[in-house]
Amino acid sequence: MESMIRTRLLAMAVCGAAVLSAGEPLRQGDRDFALSSLHATSKLFLDSIAGLSAEQVNFKSAPDRWSIAECAEHIALSEDLISQRGKSTLQQAADESKVASAEEARKKDQMILDGVVDRTNKFKAPEPLQPKRTFATVQQAAEHFKKARNANIDYIRTTHDELRSHFATHPALGSIDVYQWFLLMSAHSERHTRQIEEVKADPNFPKK
């Protein structure tokens, strides 16, 4: 199912990315591609935590592993931090020398989506995103996430900012444009939704 979603998203980008119209800094294909990803990964996360008991969300498969509650907190906080990092990049000067062709940009977009969700390689979360019981319940984390994600969806849907010509360096992905920071944000939430599903698949996971 996930691979089918990604295939459809990439096809949408290919169809709509050929021409930049006047007053449209973001290609419509790029806009639709990001919106579809943001909607899809939001649903995956919210569905993954729906109806879970307190015992289930606080279960840890090992002392050094995150619980579902901690994963949810991390996802919710990351929604703010990653989008803010992207938007702050717009304050830097545009670098036209780094702007890729539509075809090359789409390849990197897909690489980001595929690479970030791959949990083969594990990374330590930066200190601001380490779980600290910021939310009293998973439901509070979900509400925070929904508010932030809806705001980010609205931004991508309506923005005329030049997201493809401003760049910042990510420690694992290298130099990426602002648009790709938002794809990273979407993929990041899916990465940790997969972590939630790993917790739920543990043989000792509480039945209710």
* Residue, of 6 and 109, whose pLDDT is higher: 109
What is the reported pLDDT for 161?
A: 96
pLDDT 10s digits, 61-100: 999 999 999 999 999 999 999 999 999 999 999 999 999 9
Q: Does the pLDDT of residue 170 top 80, yes or no?
A: yes
| Interatomic CA distance for residues 128 and 80, integer angstroms | 11
> Are the C-beta atoms of 198 and 62 separated by less than 8 Å?
no
Q: Residue 174: enclosing H or E segment and its boundaries?
A: strand 174-177
The dihedrals phi and psi of 157, each to the nearest 5 degrees, come to -65, -35
Q: Does the pLDDT of residue 164 top 70, yes or no?
A: yes
User: Average pLDDT in the 179-188 region?
Assistant: 98
Considering only CA atoms, which of 165, 190, 189, 166 is closest in space to residue 20? Answer: 165
Task: Please tell me whether the overall predicted TM-score, pTM, comes out greater than 0.85 for this model.
Answer: yes
Q: Does the pLDDT of residue 8 top 60, yes or no?
A: no
Which is it for the CA torsion 114, 119, 123, 125, positive or negative? positive
Predicted confidence band of residue 1 (pLDDT cuts 50, 70, 90): very low
DSSP H stretches of helix in the chain: 2-16, 28-49, 54-57, 68-89, 102-117, 138-158, 178-200
Predicted confidence band of residue 19 (pLDDT cuts 50, 70, 90): very low
